[in-house]
Structure 1
Amino acid sequence: MDHAALAPYVRHVIEEATLAELPNHYRGKVRDNYDLPDGRRILITSDRISAFDIALAAIPFKGQVLTQTARFWFERTGDICPNHVIAYPDPNVVVGQRLSILPVEIVVRGYLAGTTSTSILTRYKAGEREMYGHRLPDGMSPNQKLDRPIITPTTKADHGGHDEPLTEAEILDRGLLTAEQWATVSAAALGLFARGQEVAAERGLILADTKYEFGLDGEGRIVLADEIHTPDSSRYWFAQSYPARFAAGQSPESFDKDFMRNWVVARCDPYKDPIPEIPSEVILETAAVYIRAYETITGQAFPLPETAENPLERIRRNIAAYLQSDRGPKA
């Protein structure tokens, strides 16, 4: 989708999703959450994009892309692991079960990749070979496929904190999960990742790595939460160009979601300097990247709205209609 098609929607964004009529509001980096008395949670995905520990801007349709991409995957993986979804009353909204989130984030990696301090490529370049309870061989190249996908769990840091690497032994010794919970979560994560890689391959994509969040429902059952295989939670590469680029020592071709981040870094030190105003063409380019990701991953055309209705007012109306119906069907 080009800029011309998106230009009318440059201000069609959800920066805040604060709805005073809903109870128990919690604001995350991207989502605004509301806990209903009956155990349901309303999650509204805004269009905020965060980097450098701040919200940089609001990107048209980013929240809708994340919600609907996760929906695509939730509907195709329910046979592997139950998920929290109850209903989709709006393109930016999911109603889910309220869960007790497990204190371990599950990251599954199929390739030697990543840039953060917890990524296996960063640690491999630093000379480590034993990590997360796995041993990697010498002589591997950046972005090389692993012999098999591995789980690299981390702690779930508090806001502003940093995730810490974990091994299975540490998870069990510290009582973060029981042996049964770890076995269930591990099997589910590897099964979800295998399904993700299979479907991605049909779309000409490589699902290189991803993260999952699990919680416990009221009966103690492990349930998949948050989102799954979205452009924000997963690393996707284009399969066709991967072999040649890998052979040449080049980074794989991917959805360039760092377009805005790179624009900012080229103009200031974002951790010290004021962030310059981000022009509309950069915002629209970022929107186009997210929409391209949705269309490539799902194989479906992204539906632009026919009217310029304020998206937050649309959300308010749709949630009200959902709650008044009191039936909670999946849309």
Structure 2
Amino acid sequence: MAQSLNPSKTLDLNQLRLSNSPSGSPLPVKSISKLLKKKKIPSIMVYASSKMSSTQHQTPLSLSLQALTDGDRKTEVMNTIKNSVSNCLSETHLDLTVPGLKSKTRGKVRDIYDGGDYLVLVTTDRQSAFDRILASIPFKGQVLNETSLWWFSETQHITPNAVVSSPDKNVTIAKKCSVFPVEFVVRGYVTGSTDTSLWTVYKNGVRNYCGNALPDGLVKNQKLPENILTPTTKAADHDVPVTPQEIVQRGLMTQDDYFEASTKALSLFQYGQQVALEHGLILVDTKYEFGKGSDGTVLLIDEVHTPDSSRYWIADSYEERFEKSLEPDNIDKEFLRLWFKDHCNPYEDEVLPDAPEELVSELAWRYIFLYETITKSKFEMPMTKEHIHDRISRNVSQALSSL
């Protein structure tokens, strides 16, 4: 029997396993509910040592908002960032340097190469917003790739994924699959600054968005009554909001595939929100992509809960700033979006101004800060002067020869 197009948004919390629970065992529902109902939100924590095994213990450094804007760790990282601005990975040409790679598909951020039985996904330092490239951010590609790998590993109890291996800090080798032409955008708050953001369409009077009925009286950055799914089609130059019914009617996905993928998306988001909250963060919204493997399995692909695909706010200051109608303290690319909106029309201007170097460096730091906060791992910045493209070519060549 065909499934309903609208999966339940109330998920079985017994199925959500936390990374710090013994052997990945489920955390009792009572414990989860208690955590979510706490009035005092945990402080942000960053670990100064590399990731340890689940059987080891490490002492976290409790940090306040000041850790994002000041502190020894920021000084250390910013010095390296500023020395690396000229060594960003803006373009790749592995089809010319790695034997066996075939066609190249250039995405907004990732370059995807056909490796025969596998795909080679290279995450570059390109920064996109408003459906165009704005700048190149030092270490951004490495942050996104390693953040996604961490989340792919942590969410295998919710859904299988396409990851095969990661031979380089910027590279993931993945299984080939048939990609669904739909992005599964999940939102927990009414916010945003782009034309397709929930706040933009809401303030313009829309009260039914992608099949979700929205109540009157919401204000910017307010928490929604429940998480909602607002899918978009993966158009070449921009994303187009679409309802679940339209997805099926237009043949983009079958009803069963849509139900499975949307259920997984809502489960992933609820789990991501919980993990973020434990580290003093709010996972505001994000997007997921899925594909179908050769055996018919629906697989999670692309990226998971990165600062590119997701919006993160600092939890401790959210309520106070919301009550004062101030923008939340964020650790994602929203402040870069706002800078461009203040200095040009990013949708219509043919030529955009260059992002100031201090803005580029600050965004690089925020991405690294988020990685360390979520994963409890120290971000390992390459100290070698070797060009990133040369390193990637060497590592990918070695990896493909052993597959």
User: 1 CA distance for matches of 2:231 and 2:203?
Assistant: 19
- CA positional deviation for 1:260: 4.7
Give the unaligned 5+ runs of structure 2.
1-73
Cα separation, partners in 2 of 1:300 and 1:66, compared to 1, 3 Å: same
DSSP-derived class of the 1:187 partner? helix
* Correspondence for 2:27: none
- CA positional deviation for 1:165: 2.0
Contact 1:203/1:299 (8 A) holds in 2 = no
* Correspondence for 1:329: none
State whether structure 2 residue 332 is matched by structure 1 residue 253: no
- CA positional deviation for 1:273: 6.4
Cα separation, partners in 2 of 1:36 and 1:133, compared to 1, 3 Å: same
DSSP-derived class of the 1:208 partner? strand
Superposed, which structure 2 residues align to 1:107-146 within 5 Å?
Answer: 107-146=185-224
Cα separation, partners in 2 of 1:118 and 1:37, compared to 1, 3 Å: same
Cα separation, partners in 2 of 1:117 and 1:241, compared to 1, 3 Å: same
Superposed, which structure 2 residues align to 1:1-331 within 5 Å?
Answer: 1-2=74-75, 3-19=78-94, 20=96, 21=98, 22-38=101-117, 40-51=118-129, 54-158=132-236, 160=237, 162-255=238-331, 257-261=333-337, 271-272=348-349, 274-326=351-403
The aligned length equals 323
- CA positional deviation for 1:53: 5.0
DSSP-derived class of the 2:381 partner? coil
Report the TM-score when normalising by structure 1. Answer: 0.90
After superposing the two structures, state which structure 1 stretch, 248-257 or 181-190, moved more: 248-257
DSSP-derived class of the 1:155 partner? strand
**Paired AA for residue 198 in structure 1:** Q
Contact 1:205/1:237 (8 A) holds in 2 = yes
User: 2 CA distance for matches of 1:118 and 1:280?
Assistant: 28
- CA positional deviation for 1:262: 5.1
User: 2 CA distance for matches of 1:273 and 1:35?
Assistant: 32
- CA positional deviation for 1:10: 2.2
After superposing the two structures, state which structure 1 stretch, 24-33 or 110-119, moved more: 110-119
Over residues 117-142 of structure 1, what are the superposed CA-to-partner deviations in whole Å (9 max), with x where a residue is unaligned?
Answer: 33322222122222222212222222
Cα separation, partners in 2 of 1:47 and 1:157, compared to 1, 3 Å: same
User: 2 CA distance for matches of 1:171 and 1:262?
Assistant: 32
Percent pairwise identity: 48
User: 2 CA distance for matches of 1:23 and 1:219?
Assistant: 24
After superposing the two structures, state which structure 1 stretch, 187-196 or 291-300, moved more: 291-300
DSSP-derived class of the 1:14 partner? coil
After superposing the two structures, state which structure 1 stretch, 68-77 or 243-252, moved more: 243-252
After superposing the two structures, state which structure 1 stretch, 7-16 or 82-91, moved more: 7-16
Q: After TM superposition, which residue ranges in structure 1, 4 or more long, deviate above 6 angstroms?
A: none
After superposing the two structures, state which structure 1 stretch, 284-293 or 90-99, moved more: 284-293
User: 1 CA distance for matches of 2:274 and 2:155?
Assistant: 12
Cα separation, partners in 2 of 1:205 and 1:133, compared to 1, 3 Å: same
- CA positional deviation for 1:305: 1.7
User: 2 CA distance for matches of 1:149 and 1:261?
Assistant: 24
User: 1 CA distance for matches of 2:377 and 2:179?
Assistant: 31
After superposing the two structures, state which structure 1 stretch, 81-90 or 292-301, moved more: 292-301
- CA positional deviation for 1:7: 2.7
- CA positional deviation for 1:316: 0.9
* RMSD, aligned CA: 2.0
DSSP-derived class of the 1:181 partner? helix
**Paired AA for residue 243 in structure 2:** T
DSSP-derived class of the 1:64 partner? helix
Over residues 95-133 of structure 1, what are the superposed CA-to-partner deviations in whole Å (9 max), with x where a residue is unaligned?
Answer: 001121112211111111222333322222122222222
Over residues 26-50 of structure 1, what are the superposed CA-to-partner deviations in whole Å (9 max), with x where a residue is unaligned?
Answer: 1112111111222x00001111123
- CA positional deviation for 1:188: 0.4
User: 1 CA distance for matches of 2:355 and 2:116?
Assistant: 40
Over residues 215-261 of structure 1, what are the superposed CA-to-partner deviations in whole Å (9 max), with x where a residue is unaligned?
Answer: 11112221111101000101111100011111112221102524555
User: 2 CA distance for matches of 1:60 and 1:212?
Assistant: 24
**Paired AA for residue 228 in structure 2:** I
Report the TM-score when normalising by structure 2. Answer: 0.75
- CA positional deviation for 1:51: 4.2
DSSP-derived class of the 1:189 partner? helix
Cα separation, partners in 2 of 1:45 and 1:83, compared to 1, 3 Å: same
